Amino acid sequence: MKLAIMQPYFFPYLGYWQLFQYADTFLVFDDIQFVHKGWVNRNRILHQDPSKEWRYITVPLRKKSQKTKILDISTLPAKLWRDKLLAQLTTYRKAPHYEETMALLGECLDCEEQNLARFLTRAIKITAKHLGLETEILVQSELGLDIGPVEHSGQWALRLSEAMGAIEYVNPMGGMDLFRESEFDTSGIKLRFLDPLIEPYNQRRDSFVPSLSILDILMWNPMPEVTRMLQSYRIRRSGHENRTGGTDGDR
């Protein structure tokens, strides 16, 4: 089993979903400290002012301590912020796939769940289905895994991979420095890194704004093109190119 592990993010960028495309199982890592000003409860979309690049869309949260875990955080009631967030997306009202993308967003927001982890996991599952991704989605805090001691941050993925019986673990390229390949080798688990190949697409702006929410891609591109983008990546081992995305058996 090829395993990907990520914190639950709010409509994350393309690379997050490419992990889904590559992995057999995606583990939502919610039993960990919330990072302020990270990607858990916010993401970026095009700014309504063409002279500016992007702005945030955000799920407002109740007050919390600095060390609160994601699974223990609550959102404000959706009725207080849902309409405002939907209104922010009218920036895209002239985009060719505005209606279907707003329908997806509306379905994800049509929920009274105030637990942040459960709210985001539900949105992830709905979006994965919309993208045609059939990867198994599991939630770490619901599995009761016995992972043993964790001595450094790169060992979380190793211990979880061991507990779940994975033969391969894939992580975004940006986190490469966290991991020690020898530890994975000792456990008989392949360590791989996904390097997204993100090509510019037409945003009807003078210059392309990269690394926005998946909502931006869905607004501007037909689903066959989105599917192609989901498969456009390189899988690397310790910084060296291994292979380009596809479906052959050597993973």
Note whether residue 210 is domain-resident: yes
Inside any domain, residue 249? no
Domain that holds residue 90: 2-244
Residue 251 belongs to a domain? no
Nearest residue to 27 (alpha-carbon basis) of 150, 162, 153, 179: 162
Domain count, the chain: 1
Q: How many CB atoms lie within 10 A of CB 230?
A: 22
Residue-level pLDDT at 208? 96
Instruction: Give the mean pLDDT of 142-160.
Output: 90
pLDDT category at 148 given cuts 50, 70, 90 is: confident
Q: What is the pLDDT of residue 247?
A: 38
Residue 198 domain flag: yes
Task: For the chain, give the mean pLDDT.
Answer: 93
Position 8 pLDDT exceeds 50: yes
Asked whether residue 181 is domain-assigned, the answer is yes
Residue 7 domain-assigned?
A: yes
245 pLDDT tier (thresholds 50, 70, 90):
low
Residue 248, pLDDT > 50, answer no
Instruction: Report percent pLDDT > 70 for the chain.
Output: 94
pTM > 0.85: yes or no: yes
